[in-house]
Amino acid sequence: MFRLDNKVALITGGGSGIGKAAALCFARQGAIVCILDLDEQGGNAVETEIQQQRGEALFLPCNVADQAAVQQAVQHIAERYAAIDILVNNAAVAHIGTAETTESADFNRLMSVNVKGVYHCLHAVLPIMKQKGGVVLNLASVASSVGLAERFAYSTTKGVVVGMTLSVAKDFLEYNIRCNCISPGRVHTPFVDGYLQKNYPGRAAEMFEKLSKTQPIGRMGKPEEIAHLILYLCSDEASFITGCDYPIDGGFITLNT
């Protein structure tokens, strides 16, 4: 079950965190994994790890906010493998602030990556995917469903991702393309560690514990746990699922409200 043998999977932000976990998971299930990421060190490391495990991987440095760069990367993948069967729109950036304290430059930065980055990938990949069908999986967030303090710009962009998911699912159903999104709660990634060290020097461990306890299940999620849901939704076993947003949040949405 859940095999992806010889399927070409494009994962943005695949050099670390959830994207890395998804890339490694897909490779173990037989996929040809193509990684787009700004982080060349991380992207190269994931590519090497997959190849060392006798999988096939290709890393291409790319800023998803740059439409021309995305188009070039997607074209390279399509010419090399003649298909793109799976697109995982994972790349995103975060920001702390309210509608009052968020500066225009920060709002635009999040829109450029979290919204236009998804659009750029969809715009480039869907014409290729239409040829024989495929799957799109977008990363939304619990922030698109519940109010989180000081997450104005981030919540805005993730709400847009849910709307984009529904639109793509509707418009491309006739081409045998499924599109879903998932909404993780707090997940323990390198981003979380960096955020805590930057904003709470000397108190990182204390704040990590505090944030972990905001999840009713009592801990943050693991990137691998998120990757397993991504795998399922991108596999043939989920062929009857499209146009859905799946929370994976340790009970955050339903048990905190």
Question: Catalytic site residue 154?
Answer: yes
Residue with tokens 């949040």: 249
91 to each of 19, 59, 140, 184, 251, how far by Cα in Å?
8, 14, 11, 14, 24
* Helix-strand-coil split of the chain, %, nearest 5: 50, 15, 35
Ordered DSSP codes for 106-146: HHHHHIIIIIHHHHHHHHHHHHHHTTT-EEEEEE--GGGTS
Q: Which of 81, 154, 175, 200 is catalytic?
A: 154
**E strands present in the chain:** 8-12, 32-37, 56-61, 86-89, 134-139, 177-184, 245-248
8 Å CB contact between 168 and 136: yes
The distance of Cα 228 from the centroid of its chain, to the nearest Å, equals 13
Number of H helices, E strands in the chain: 10, 7
Q: Would you give the DSSP letter of residue 84?
A: -
* CA triple 227-20-236, angle to 5 deg: 40
Distance CA 240, CA 48 (A): 34
Which residue numbers are catalytic? 154
